Amino acid sequence: MPSDPLLRVENVSKTFRTRGKKLRAVQNVSFTLEAGKTLGIVGESGSGKSTLGRMVLRLLESDKGKIVFDGVDLTELKKNKLRALRQDMQIIFQDPRASLNPTMTVRDAIEDAMAIHEIGTKASRRERVVELLERVGLPYEVQFAYPHELSGGQLQRVGIARALSLNPKLIVCDEPVSALDVSIQVQVIQLLRDLQKEFNLAYIFISHNLAVVEYLSDEVAVLYLGEVVEQAPADELFKKPTHPYTRVLLNSILKIPDSPENRQTMVSIQGEVPSPLNPPSGCAFHPRCSFATDACKTVKPERKKVSEHHIAACHLVQ
Amino acid sequence: MSGPLLAIENLHVQFARSEDQVYAVNGVSFSIHENETLGIVGESGSGKSVMLMSSIGLLRENGKITAGTANFQGRDLLKLRPKQLEDIRGRDIGVIFQDPMTSLNPVMRIGDQIMEAMLTHQYAGRKEAFERTLHLLHEMGIPDPKARFKNYPHEFSGGMRQRIMIAIALACEPQLLIADEPTTALDVTVQMQILALLQELRRKRGMSVVMVTHDFGVATNFCDKIVVMYGGQIMEMADTDQFIRKTMHPYSLGLKRSIIEVGHRGKAIVPIPGAAKTMTQAPAGCPFAERCPYRTERCDNEVPELRKLNADHYIACHRAEEVASLAV
């Protein structure tokens, strides 16, 4: 490695305990992320993608593993030291309404974030709010509005402005466009991409929407029941999907056909995502996999190299 | 061929808010025939859901139908009393919603809920209803029907709950199924399973389906006919193959260009500028004019009629012919 990446995650795991049962949310996930780049994390509900995002920011403690951000091992860091670092790591959520105080104006909400981190004076912070709102494409008056007066798209822009106010190096984007209408989704995605270039931001982009992940990411990790089943540079993953689960995901997407002959037939895959309270033995995907052999039922597949930067955890990979 | 199964004519719906009126549906007409799958597509606030739900008597309390007719089997649904509508819903028209949890009874065994649908509508006696429930559960792809009959909704996954809701909706073998965003809350692999199930059931029973969805991918692959709504009006209505071959309305074209799909990496995506507005006045012009690249003065001052351009292709745009030639 020529230089240290901005973020290195090594073998992090998280198990929740509920009513005496163990819920395996994330298991042995590793990746690195360079400054200014995007790692996309895709998976269905229960795949552990949001848990992983929160662990990276230590909003949630991992059970084991290592998270090194900007040269600092977060897992070793005391809580009081963590606050200073939080400024560099921000998060935006699917529902910005839920993360904004309903009794605070937009200006106060953004200013508050800066005040907590003791950035500037009140006057300079207010100036910055105006700048930030303009940068994310909101009109001047929005600063005086309350969250309930704004649309979903506008609120997400406010969430982005608030994250930006601290000049972060990394933003975890947890399903940031999933609740938005398609015509608004693109606007927000283009904004995120422009901001990335302008401020050299690194993103962890968490989504169930493969198309959006492909569009934005440099590298993509596919999660199934808390484990990375496939990981590769975005071009390669979508051109050469290797893990049967990745292929199933891709085949389940209904694209607008380019000609009537290409209308898709509804072909359903067997079974449902198993409960993370009771994950299957061997390869977690085997009960739904049409290629499963006896080995898949008992032996957990190792991560194997498909090519230089492409890994898949499947017995069929040679 | 006989007439349409359901024909909606010139429907207008308004909502009263504390200070103003929202013009949610502004003169919508369309029909669905036997054995047909119709997709009603639009973004939030387009009126797609309100339009359909109000026609079968499912309108929020502050909503009012101000004009229109909805003919179903020779009767205008909009003139019926709530009791009569209840009788038709669930017997002749099945309805499924986005979130099964809000329409399933959480404290009632799912088998009893399916049976209840048949008993309420006197479709079957107790014994027959029980047998039929087991059969329906099996048909919906729910393993071990006898055991699952006794389970409560929370004991099922989201996809399984949607299957139970379909079983309830189809228990009395309706001719028409109305599905309001039936797969929106589901993961893609589960969405595929539910759509495959719906398609199979539709073919087997020869019923018609009207599906409300915000997802053009779902509509264009699943439905025979497409209705695109914006600002409470139909912008484009076409046979799906026709719509795929040649989308014509500036709004539909804009949406198609702005949807990010797999394979779009590295391509420029052109977003539709601005956002849809809540209409607090009766439309004076085209509701899409403000965001439309082809806007002229006429678009602001004259509501475009939905007019026939080709066989099976209707457009509400003053400049439809020009746009069609420009957009190739």
Specify the pLDDT at position B168. Answer: 96
Specify the pLDDT at position B22. Answer: 96
Q: Considering only residues 89 to 108 of chain B, which have any Cβ-Cβ distance to chain A shorter than 8 Å?
A: none
Helix, strand, coil shares of chain A, percent, nearest 5, are 35, 25, 40
Q: Which two tokens stand for residue A104?
A: 């605070």
Q: Is B220 on the interface with A (CB under 8 A)?
A: yes
Q: A238, B275: Cβ pair inside 8 Å?
A: no
Question: Do both B75 and B218 map to the same domain?
Answer: yes
Among B151, B173, B195, residue at a domain's last position? B173
What chain B residue is nearest to A218 in terms of C-alpha separation? B265
Q: Provide the 10 A C-beta neighbour count for residue A100.
A: 21
Question: Do both B136 and B221 map to the same domain?
Answer: no
Q: Is residue B298 part of a domain?
A: yes
Closest C-alpha among B192, B206, B244 to residue A248? B192
Q: Considering only residues 278 to 297 of chain B, which have any Cβ-Cβ distance to chain A shorter than 8 Å?
A: none
Q: A214, B216: Cβ pair inside 8 Å?
A: no
Q: A187, B197: Cβ pair inside 8 Å?
A: no
Question: Do both B165 and B294 map to the same domain?
Answer: no
Q: Coil, helix or strand for B303?
A: coil
Q: A260, B245: Cβ pair inside 8 Å?
A: yes
Question: Do both B71 and B208 map to the same domain?
Answer: yes
Q: A257, B244: Cβ pair inside 8 Å?
A: yes
List the single residue in B43, B191, B245 with the smallest CB-CB distance to A183: B43
Question: Do both B205 and B220 map to the same domain?
Answer: yes
Q: B262, A264: Cβ pair inside 8 Å?
A: no
What chain A residue is nearest to B155 in terms of C-alpha separation? A275
Question: Do both B187 and B306 map to the same domain?
Answer: yes
Provide the residue-wise pLDDT of chain A in tens; the chain has 318 residues. Answer: 456 899 999 999 999 998 888 999 999 999 999 999 999 999 998 899 999 999 999 999 999 999 999 999 999 888 888 888 889 999 999 888 888 999 999 999 999 999 999 999 999 999 999 999 999 999 999 999 999 999 999 999 999 999 999 999 999 999 999 889 888 999 999 999 999 999 999 999 999 999 999 999 999 999 999 999 999 999 999 999 999 999 999 999 999 999 999 999 998 888 888 888 889 999 999 999 999 999 999 999 999 999 999 999 999 997
List CB contacts (< 8 A) between B43 and chain A.
181-183
What domain range includes position B122? Answer: 93-173
- Using only C-alpha atoms, what is the Rg of chain A? 21
Question: Do both B287 and B168 map to the same domain?
Answer: no
Question: Do both B189 and B285 map to the same domain?
Answer: yes
Q: A260, B244: Cβ pair inside 8 Å?
A: yes
* Extended strands (E) in A211-314: 219-224, 227-233, 304-307, 310-312
Range list of H helices, chain B: 48-55, 82-88, 100-103, 110-120, 126-139, 145-148, 158-170, 188-205, 216-222, 240-245, 250-258, 297-301, 320-326
* Predicted complex ipTM: 0.89
Q: Provide the 10 A C-beta neighbour count for residue A77.
A: 16
Q: Are B2 and B73 in contact (CB under 8 A)?
A: no
Q: What is d(CA A219, CA A233) in angstroms, rounded to the nearest whole number?
A: 4
> What CATH topology corresponds to A7-88+168-312?
Rossmann fold (3.40.50)
Distance of residue B89 Cα from the nearest chain A Cα, in angstroms: 28
Q: What is d(CA B72, CA B78) in angstroms, rounded to the nearest whole number?
A: 10
Q: Which of B43, B189, B245 to mutate to test the interface with A (most CBs of A within 10 A)?
A: B189
Domain holding B246: CATH number? 3.40.50.300
Distance of residue A241 Cα from the nearest chain B Cα, in angstroms: 13
Among B133, B156, B173, residue at a domain's last position? B173
Q: Is residue B12 part of a domain?
A: yes
Q: Is A232 on the interface with B (CB under 8 A)?
A: no
∠ at Cα A28 (A23, A31), nearest 5°?
130
First to last CA, chain A: 26
Q: Coil, helix or strand for A111?
A: helix
Q: Which residues contact A229 (CB under 8 A, 6 or more apart)?
A: A222, A223, A243, A245, A246, A285, A312, A313, A314
Q: Is residue B233 part of a domain?
A: yes
Q: Coil, helix or strand for B106?
A: coil
Among B150, B173, B196, residue at a domain's last position? B173
Specify the pLDDT at position B327. Answer: 62
Q: Which of B201, B261, B288 to mutate to test the interface with A (most CBs of A within 10 A)?
A: B261
Q: Is residue B158 part of a domain?
A: yes
Q: Is the dihedral of CA B61, B66, B72, B73 positive or negative?
A: positive
Closest C-alpha among A15, A59, A61, A53 to residue A33? A53
Q: Could you please report the per-residue DSSP string of B249-297?
A: SHHHHHHHHH---TT-TTS---PPPS------S--SS-TTGGG-TT--H
Q: Are B13 and B59 in contact (CB under 8 A)?
A: yes
**Four-CA torsion B179, A271, A211, A216, nearest 10 degrees:** 130
Question: Do both B161 and B183 map to the same domain?
Answer: no
Specify the pLDDT at position A107. Answer: 96
What chain B residue is nearest to A288 in terms of C-alpha separation? B189
Q: Is residue B280 part of a domain?
A: yes
Helices (H) and strands (E) in chain B, counts: 13, 12
CA distances (Å), origin A239, targets A231, A236, A250, A259, B188: 13, 5, 11, 21, 19
Question: Do both B87 and B97 map to the same domain?
Answer: no
Question: Do both B255 and B196 map to the same domain?
Answer: yes
Q: B262, A255: Cβ pair inside 8 Å?
A: yes
Q: What is d(CA A84, CA A66) in angstroms, rounded to the nearest whole number?
A: 19
Query: Residue B316: enclosing H or E segment and its boundaries?
Result: none
Low-confidence ranges of chain B (pLDDT < 70): 1, 327-328
Distance of residue A66 Cα from the nearest chain B Cα, in angstroms: 31
Q: Give the total number of structural domains in chain B.
A: 2
Extents of the domains making up chain A: 7-88+168-312, 100-166
Q: B189, A249: Cβ pair inside 8 Å?
A: yes
List the single residue in A184, A185, A211 with the smallest CB-CB distance to B262: A211
Q: Is residue B14 part of a domain?
A: yes
Q: B190, A272: Cβ pair inside 8 Å?
A: yes
CA distances (Å), origin B65, targets B6, B15, B283, B324: 17, 9, 16, 34
Q: Is residue B238 part of a domain?
A: yes
Question: Do both B87 and B223 map to the same domain?
Answer: yes
Q: Is residue B1 part of a domain?
A: no
